[in-house]
Structure 1
């Protein structure tokens, strides 16, 4: 597959890296694991297999070999040789076909899954791209025009009649509700900080990438713990810098941080972070840890009825 137009940031992404945080290796992996899982399932692959993650702008590819693909995400359109085609079902491409995946409107990311095995660099048991260190994926970097992405010529048979049920298709929007549990420093950061965080919406500012998103809105009060010894952080952790403007960590976030961890996006909602871009609006809702566990189990039960075994990271 040849990259004709790479777009703003197009990378090879799949399952996150696990078991290496003590080495300073972030999770990385697909920013929206649910869209990735749906795309992979349509062409008969496990949910965490490597696919192509396309961010914000359109991307164009040309195929030298026939293959089956599926596209799931925020793309405005999918065109093969100029003809529109739907998401959420397998598509058959012939040698010489040109695939145009449109910009994200609304939302932020789209996933292109290929039935054949995509050849990607591996390390620490994973193949996803970690851009900050130049590791994994396609030589550790985002794709650019004229890159050739090799994939196996042998691929399993694809059920071309497989279509994602309507009730399981994600809704892409610029307005999001993210449920959060109390973070380790929520009490010591400042009294009532969780209530204030959830009082009114925040907007994603210009500083928005796979590492994290700076949020803009009414500044939160900060206490004496505005700076503290570094402690473990994870994708979905919400930190409170001295400015009082919350910072939401993404999939490529560092493994430790020195700002108070006031909240944590629940695991069932964490894939939505991958669809947040500059200008997106977020309403946080505070729930208990026990309710977060229940929601996670309910969501896995719903998704497994279609996808089988699935892991939301």
Structure 2
């Protein structure tokens, strides 16, 4: 089977990297708020980075496992525990059937992610498994998870190669003040020089009006040339809208597809996960970077993820000393020398088997 939700927590949804290609119809992209944490969770359990995960906001759920499965919990520290014992974040962990995963507090960050090896049995709607809460589309019946919900695993695993190495360094969410890098535009010409200077040199406070759609901030007023209204145009994840009141609003994962307020800048992709983990009351600064700099940072992160996935999913060759011992022993006995070639998981008629393979190194006959 999979998991049974005992308690859904505050806001627990199914998300992947988003529903692309439908904004022209008014359908939001949605997807995870913290793309870095979700990607790493999937890599640690051997999934593609676009595989659906469970996104947890602030107060987490309680769920019971009805089948063995390898998971990884990443993102904020929301007090994950298995049968009451703390779970190490950013590590692949085997959960046995009958065990319960719960979240018991908020110790840093505001959103956590759970990836499941082989993925969750959630239908693909318009190319994505993400939950669009406003449209009630995707995910689990288009809504947040609640008591009594059950989700099956598509291809659960109880073993993965390099299990001991499936770990990643813990991020720090202890700061109360953060800098977000931005690319200016597309309507930065609608602001006075004073307004641009205010935006880039002021400290803004995240207000209580912060959800999956947007993050409203409070601080020094950003001066427009002729007001904050424009002809409606497209909105992207990270767009910084500045209405006539002069305070910035950063558009998040469930942002609307179009908007009629001036956009002074866009938070770069690699910094959006920082904002996703922030809480109301935290302080924000904006720093200008170029498009080339933003792209270089994005490519560097992508290369890091690709390298990690390749390392964790590449079978290990036997060590040279192991081969040497096997060859020496076989030579003395005038037999064929064999060494271990690795342990692999295979599936036959829906059942999982671990198979240990050997390969012939040299013959002495």
Structure 2 length as normaliser, TM-score?
Answer: 0.79
Distance 1:154 1:7, change over 3 A: closer
Deviation at 1:58, TM superposition (A): 2.6
* C-alpha separation in 1, matches of 2:140 and 2:228: 39
Maintained 8 Å contact 1:35/1:170:
no
Following the alignment from structure 2 to structure 1, what is the Cα–Cα distance between the partners of residues 57 and 182? 25
Cα displacement (A) at 1:145:
1.6
Specify every segment of 5 or more residues in structure 1 that has no aligned partner in the other structure, as ranges. none
Question: Does the residue aligned with 2:151 lie in a helix, a strand or coil?
Answer: coil
Partner of 1:256: 258
Which residue is equivalent to 1:164?
167
Q: 1:308 to 1:246 in 2, by over 3 A?
A: farther
Match of 2:147 in 1: 145
**1:222 corresponds to which residue?**
224
Q: Would you tell me which structure has more strand in proportion to its own residues?
A: 2
After TM superposition, give the deviation of residue 66 of structure 1 in Å: 1.5
Q: Is the 8 A contact 1:39 1:88 kept in 2?
A: yes
Higher Rg of the two aligned structures: 2
Match for residue 189 of structure 2? 187
Q: 2 CA distance for matches of 1:194 and 1:220?
A: 7
In 2, Cα distance between equivalents of 1:181 and 1:154 = 41
SS in 2 for 1:132: coil
Q: Which residue of 2 aligns with 1:175?
A: 177
Contact 2:69 2:158 in 1 (8 A): no
Aligned-residue offset at 1:235: 0.7
Distance 1:150 1:280 in 2: 38
Matches within 5 A, 1:6-155: 6-152=8-154, 154-155=156-157
SS at the partner of 2:201? coil
1:229 aligns to what SS in structure 2? strand
**Larger RCO: 1 or 2 (CA < 8 Å, sep 6+):** 1
**Structure 2 portions without partners, runs of 5+:** 312-365
CA distance in 2, matches of 1:140, 1:235: 21
SS state at 2:63 partner: strand
Match of 1:270 among 263, 269, 272: 272
- Report how far residue 238 of structure 1 moved: 0.2
SS of the equivalent of 1:36 reads: helix
User: Does structure 2 retain, via aligned residues, the 8 Å contact 1:42–1:163?
Assistant: yes
Once the 2 structures are TM-superposed, how far is the Cα of residue 67 of structure 1 from its aligned partner? 1.2
Q: Work out the CA distance in 2 between the residues paired with 1:63 and 1:86.
A: 18
**Structure 1 runs (4+) greater than 4 angstroms displaced:** none
Q: Structure 1 residues 155 and 258 mapped into 2: Cα distance closer, same or farther (>3 Å)? A: same
Please say which of residues 154-163 and 76-85 is displaced more in the overlay.
Answer: 154-163
- The count of aligned residue pairs is 307
For the aligned residues, what is the CA RMSD?
1.9
**Which region of structure 1 is more displaced relative to structure 2, 192-201 or 2-11?**
192-201
